[in-house]
């Protein structure tokens, strides 16, 4: 499990990450691990090497060994059986290394959620750098996520946007079946 970091360590790790992004800028080797995925994400990841999306033009390559990999691409909700192989793959990778969670399952557990057999997300096992949502994410989303991990793309989605809307005055509200009002 990932231990909580102190403030100074976190600052240093951010600087290291920036340096790593600059190092990886033009060429990156990816190791893909299926941690209990339904293979929909795999079918989209496979399309990245097709002539239409052609990720080699961006300097992204798949590799078969974690020893040669800079980035770990994880799909699936992380089943109990895949926890140890996933951690071993991560430990076998040379520093600096990036982890990208692909699909709704890897981001949050998805339709599997947290159960007796699944942990519910890669975050529970490894420190995740980039989350790529979608079920499955389209190849364009995958390219955007990989380039975001390298600092070559900009993040478009920023959450926790809070809008407060005043409800209209009560007279204007027509009575509605099933309406629940606070008394």
Under the binding rule (CB under 8 A), the answer on residue 5 touching another protein is no
Under the binding rule (CB under 8 A), the answer on residue 133 touching another protein is yes
CB of 119 to another protein, least distance (A): 14
CB of 65 to another protein, least distance (A): 25
Under the binding rule (CB under 8 A), the answer on residue 182 touching another protein is yes
DSSP symbols for 119-159: -SSGGGTS--SEEE-SSSPPHHHHHHHHHHHTTSS------
C-alpha to C-alpha distance for 121 and 139, rounded to whole angstroms:
21
Q: What is the dihedral of CA 58, 62, 65, 68, to 10 degrees?
A: -10
Under the binding rule (CB under 8 A), the answer on residue 167 touching another protein is yes
Q: Which is nearer to another protein, 65 or 102 (CB)?
A: 102
DSSP class of residue 161? -
Backbone φ and ψ for 66, nearest 5 degrees, come out as -65, -20
Q: From the list 53, 79, 83, 96, which residue makes contact with another protein (rule: CB under 8 A)? A: 53
CB of 104 to another protein, least distance (A): 6
Under the binding rule (CB under 8 A), the answer on residue 25 touching another protein is no
Backbone φ and ψ for 144, nearest 5 degrees, come out as -60, -45
Cβ count near 44 (within 10 Å) = 22
Q: Which is nearer to another protein, 54 or 84 (CB)?
A: 54
Chain positions contacting another protein, by CB under 8 A: 51-54, 57-58, 104, 107-111, 113, 123, 128-135, 137-138, 140-141, 143-145, 147-148, 152-153, 155-167, 169-171, 173, 176, 178-183
């Amino acid at each position: 499990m990932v231990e909580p970091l102190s403030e100074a360590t976190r600052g240093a790790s951010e600087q290291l990450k920036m340096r790593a992004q600059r190092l990886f800028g033009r060429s990156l080797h990816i190791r893909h691990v299926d941690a209990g995925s339904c293979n929909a994400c795999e079918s989209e990841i496979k399309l990245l090497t097709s002539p239409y999306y052609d990720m080699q033009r961006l300097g992204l390559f798949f590799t078969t060994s974690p020893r040669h990999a800079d980035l770990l691409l994880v799909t699936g909700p992380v089943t109990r059986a895949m926890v140890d192989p996933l951690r071993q793959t991560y430990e076998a990778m040379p520093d600096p290394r990036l982890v990208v969670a692909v699909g709704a399952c890897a981001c949050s557990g998805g339709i599997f959620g947290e159960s007796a057999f699944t942990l519910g997300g890669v975050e529970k096992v490894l420190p995740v750098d980039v989350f790529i949502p979608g079920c499955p994410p389209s190849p364009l989303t995958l390219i955007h996520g990989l380039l975001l991990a390298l600092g070559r793309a900009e993040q478009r989605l920023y959450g926790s946007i809070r809008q407060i809307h005043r409800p209209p005055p009560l007279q204007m509200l027509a009575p509605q079946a099933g309406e629940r009002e606070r008394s």
